[in-house]
Structure 1
Amino acid sequence: MSNSATDHATIPQNLWAARGPHPGPAAEDVVRRTLGRHRESGDIDDFAEPPVPDDSPERIFEARWRAGGTVTVRARLTLVPRAARPEGQEWTLVAEAERPWDEAWPSPATLFWPEAGPAEGADGDWDHHPTVPGLRFGQVNPLPDDDKETRRRLKDAARDSWCAHVVVHEAMTPDEQGRLPLARLLPPGLRHRVMEHRAAPQQFRAVNWALKDLGVEVPRGGAVLLPPDPAPQDYDGREHSVRTVFLDGSEPAGLVAALRDFMALPRPLPPGAQEALTDLRENWTLTTLQEELERQRDLVAMYADALEAMTKSRDLYREAAEQAHQALAALRDAPAALPQQQRPGARTPAALQQLTRTFERLRFTAKGPRPAPAPDGPSEAPVVLEIPGVPEVPGAGAAERR
């Protein structure tokens, strides 16, 4: 496991995210019917199905509602075919509120899906764990009898950061009331973000052996939350364990408090959540009239800024082009503008001055004075500089013969 979450984007506190498989063949029809019922009942303000390309296998649903009557929540559910089972579909749900998420708000999953359970038949068969077979939200998930299988399952569960995993140990064999899942006693906003693993009384040593690699242990008759991967720097497994969990139907106040603290940690965004959140923010279509007006105003302001930048760039380009044309014209006319033809006091362009200085150096080198003889001996042979295009100075050879 990783040791730090500082290099990963963390889950915003106003985000509710979940995912899982739906094994049935008509998941989109189930979502469509469920959203329609909630719109009629007033649980949601409206929903929409944004268009997708004809060759795209995914289906998208958007819904908006007001949590607590005042806080706007925008949610987006995406369905894609399952690779392993073509008749089923994988669903990803992200919901973003205008302020930090309140655990008392309803679970967004129950607004897109019907209540899970045998009573709903195939329509309610959506609450499976996305990666670990056999695990379901809202139910008791007994740990395997085999110790190695228990270890493997808990390690696989710990890698999943879409939800919180809690391991509960039964101090004694519970009665019928104690065998019910604790999820039904959790606040609505936590029920579909918590996976409950249950260890029987005789599995106390085995489960702690399986948890040893994760750096946590479950108290006898208590519960522990599996650490996220990667774990935040300030994560302490002891602070996310509960010494006693009463399986008598009473509210597990200690477990709720531990879950509340766990959800507030800077946990990393799970794989795929960032893309889903970006789609929600950038491709949202279910807007109100006021939101559409503000969006159009933002677009007008953006286009105005872009037009102003383009105008400035055009002016700068035109000015640079004019200067380049002037420089090219000066270079084109430079060979005809010899220094002898210039009037006294006239200024010479920079390019022409450079050409003039070049011709001056060539002229004085070709017609320079004869070198003086050395005082102590015969004169040395002069160095004859041959310049292509410049004729030999008359009389130079006769002077050397003297």
Structure 2
Amino acid sequence: MSNSTTDRAIVPQTVWAARGRHTGPAPEDVVSRTLRRHKESGDIDDFAEPPVTEESGRRVFEARWRADGTVIVRARLTLVPPQGRPQGHEWRLVAEAERPWDEAWPSPATLFWPEGGADAGDGSWDHHPTIAGLRFRQVNALPEDDKEMRRRLRDAARESWCLHVVVHEAMTPDEQGRLPLARLLPPGLRHRVIEHRAAPQQLRGVNWALKDLGVEVPRGGAVLLPPDPAPEDYDGREHSVRSVFLDGSQPSALLAALRHFVALPRPLPQHAEEALTDLRENWTLLTLQEQLERERRLVAMYAEALEAMTKSRDLYKQAAEQALEALAAYRDVPSPGVPQQRPGSRTPGALQQLTRTFERLKLTARNRQQEESAADASANGTPADPAREDDDGTGTGGDTDDRSS
């Protein structure tokens, strides 16, 4: 078994939580009828069915009442559609009060589910959520086979939503002794305890089955199964009862062990943290005063967000202005080792150099053209065209002087 509790939140003392399975059809109708009847009788102030996504297939019910007439209790029940075996709708019920839970307060389970009678529907709501055959409010006889008994107790220890109690019968009880002990417990514990009953001849087998869990049931006594993970500083001896009288009298020693166990800083069981978060953050059944307070909190939150956005915008604007100033200063400062030239000062020198280059190319092309013309004239026996003579004083200039003389 895992003894680590660091990865889970601790169960608050203001929270009452239970988990079970409804095996009949239309459990949502049973819950609606029960809540409506309790509202009409004044047991609860109000109830609601918040909308959920169709993909989840879940149904959610909320109820609010006042314990002792003054302490506000908010409760949320979630119906989970069937998934494999065992059959039926799993239900998860989490209730939170304004002060630590009092075991004398009414059980939240009886405000969502009927105690019995015609309103209970075709099926029953008090089945264990994962282990077939186990039920709240009843005596659950342990299997005759030792291996099957060991498997059942091991699986029960892993389910820490419930409080599992193993009771050994020192002798075969009478009709009164065969009644479940849960009926003698306070309302706050009654629907959270599952009673496993071992027959007189099963003492050796049940202790063999409990060996892996590190606990042992005394002859004619009882023991609480340690959850997985177990609470810190858990001592199984503190949750062992030497004698339990099955005569209808109050099981005071067992009740003391249950109270001690509930008071431990136990980790929230699987899915319980999610259910508690939904209760706190997605609660919809608000009074007018609660709605006003919620709107005020929203206005304050939006004001803080707007102020933060304004400060962020101002800081961004200031940073942008500083960056532009730094960029302008960087452009005005000359870079070391590179002569700074203005665009206008570079133009005359470059233009003169380009002009000289074009003149050289022009002279080269003209000389080449004259040479080609002279070669053609000598080959044909005709004098070269006077217009193509050079202008250096020879050619057409000389012939003109001789004719004029």
> What's the CA shift string for 1:336-369, capped at 9, x where partnerless?
xxxxxxxxxxxxxxxx1xx3434379xxxxxxxx
CA distance in 2: counterparts of 1:232 and 1:123, whole angstroms? 38
Tell me how far 1:121 sits from its aligned partner: 5.4
Name the SS for the 1:227 alignment partner: coil
Task: Give the counterpart letter for 2:222 in structure 1.
Answer: A
| Equivalent residue number for residue 42 of structure 1 | 42
> What's the CA shift string for 1:304-327, capped at 9, x where partnerless?
111111111111111111122223
> Structure 1 residue runs of 4+, over 4 Å off?
118-121
| Equivalent residue number for residue 349 of structure 1 | none
Any conservation in 2 of the 1:114–1:124 contact (CA below 8 Å)?
no
5 Å-filtered alignment, 1:257-336, equals: 257-331=256-330, 333-334=331-332
Any conservation in 1 of the 2:23–2:124 contact (CA below 8 Å)?
yes
> What's the CA shift string for 1:354-387, capped at 9, x where partnerless?
x3434379xxxxxxxxxxxxxxxxxxxxxxxxxx
- Aligned in 2, Cα 1:195/1:85: closer, same or farther, shift over 3 Å? closer
Any conservation in 2 of the 1:39–1:46 contact (CA below 8 Å)?
yes
Any conservation in 2 of the 1:113–1:124 contact (CA below 8 Å)?
no
CA distance in 2: counterparts of 1:162 and 1:243, whole angstroms? 25
CA distance in 2: counterparts of 1:358 and 1:130, whole angstroms? 83
| Equivalent residue number for residue 107 of structure 2 | 107
| Equivalent residue number for residue 79 of structure 2 | 79
Name the SS for the 1:294 alignment partner: helix
Tell me how far 1:86 sits from its aligned partner: 11
Correspondence 1:208 to 2:187: no
CA distance in 1: counterparts of 2:280 and 2:192, whole angstroms? 22
| Equivalent residue number for residue 5 of structure 1 | 5
- Aligned in 2, Cα 1:149/1:247: closer, same or farther, shift over 3 Å? same
CA distance in 1: counterparts of 2:215 and 2:2, whole angstroms? 15
Correspondence 1:241 to 2:240: yes
Correspondence 1:227 to 2:226: yes
| Equivalent residue number for residue 359 of structure 1 | 338
Any conservation in 2 of the 1:66–1:72 contact (CA below 8 Å)?
yes
Listed as ranges, the gaps of 5+ residues in structure 2 are 341-405
Task: Give the counterpart letter for 1:167 in structure 2.
Answer: V
Task: Give the counterpart letter for 2:47 in structure 1.
Answer: F
| Equivalent residue number for residue 338 of structure 1 | none
CA distance in 1: counterparts of 2:28 and 2:337, whole angstroms? 83
Task: Give the counterpart letter for 1:94 in structure 2.
Answer: V
CA distance in 1: counterparts of 2:29 and 2:54, whole angstroms? 18
| Equivalent residue number for residue 92 of structure 1 | 92
Name the SS for the 2:53 alignment partner: coil
Any conservation in 1 of the 2:24–2:123 contact (CA below 8 Å)?
no
| Equivalent residue number for residue 53 of structure 1 | 53
> What's the CA shift string for 1:77-96, capped at 9, x where partnerless?
11121112698322111001
| Equivalent residue number for residue 145 of structure 1 | 144
Any conservation in 1 of the 2:86–2:131 contact (CA below 8 Å)?
no
Any conservation in 2 of the 1:164–1:225 contact (CA below 8 Å)?
yes
Task: Give the counterpart letter for 2:244 in structure 1.
Answer: V
CA distance in 1: counterparts of 2:262 and 2:33, whole angstroms? 31
Task: Give the counterpart letter for 2:197 in structure 1.
Answer: R
CA distance in 1: counterparts of 2:118 and 2:335, whole angstroms? 100
Correspondence 1:165 to 2:164: yes
Task: Give the counterpart letter for 1:287 in structure 2.
Answer: L
CA distance in 2: counterparts of 1:56 and 1:175, whole angstroms? 48
Listed as ranges, the gaps of 5+ residues in structure 1 are 335-351, 362-402
Task: Give the counterpart letter for 2:167 in structure 1.
Answer: V
Name the SS for the 2:80 alignment partner: strand
Percent identity for Structure 1 against Structure 2:
78
Name the SS for the 2:115 alignment partner: coil
Tell me how far 1:56 sits from its aligned partner: 3.7
- Aligned in 2, Cα 1:47/1:242: closer, same or farther, shift over 3 Å? same
| Equivalent residue number for residue 217 of structure 1 | 216
- Aligned in 2, Cα 1:124/1:67: closer, same or farther, shift over 3 Å? farther
| Equivalent residue number for residue 128 of structure 1 | 127
Tell me how far 1:9 sits from its aligned partner: 1.3
| Equivalent residue number for residue 250 of structure 1 | 249
| Range that drifts further, 78-87 or 41-50 | 78-87
Task: Give the counterpart letter for 1:136 in structure 2.
Answer: R
| Range that drifts further, 322-331 or 70-79 | 322-331
TM-score in terms of structure 1 length: 0.81
> What's the CA shift string for 1:25-79, capped at 9, x where partnerless?
2011110000000000010000001112344411111000011111110000111
Any conservation in 2 of the 1:163–1:195 contact (CA below 8 Å)?
yes
Any conservation in 1 of the 2:86–2:130 contact (CA below 8 Å)?
no
Task: Give the counterpart letter for 1:28 in structure 2.
Answer: E
Name the SS for the 1:155 alignment partner: helix
- Aligned in 2, Cα 1:121/1:274: closer, same or farther, shift over 3 Å? closer
TM-score in terms of structure 2 length: 0.81
- Aligned in 2, Cα 1:267/1:360: closer, same or farther, shift over 3 Å? same
Task: Give the counterpart letter for 2:249 in structure 1.
Answer: S
- Cα RMSD of the aligned pairs, angstroms, is 1.8
Any conservation in 1 of the 2:140–2:196 contact (CA below 8 Å)?
yes
CA distance in 2: counterparts of 1:119 and 1:327, whole angstroms? 84
Any conservation in 2 of the 1:30–1:123 contact (CA below 8 Å)?
no
Any conservation in 2 of the 1:10–1:266 contact (CA below 8 Å)?
yes
Tell me how far 1:119 sits from its aligned partner: 6.2
Tell me how far 1:20 sits from its aligned partner: 1.7
CA distance in 2: counterparts of 1:163 and 1:123, whole angstroms? 24
Name the SS for the 2:40 alignment partner: helix
CA distance in 1: counterparts of 2:235 and 2:85, whole angstroms? 39
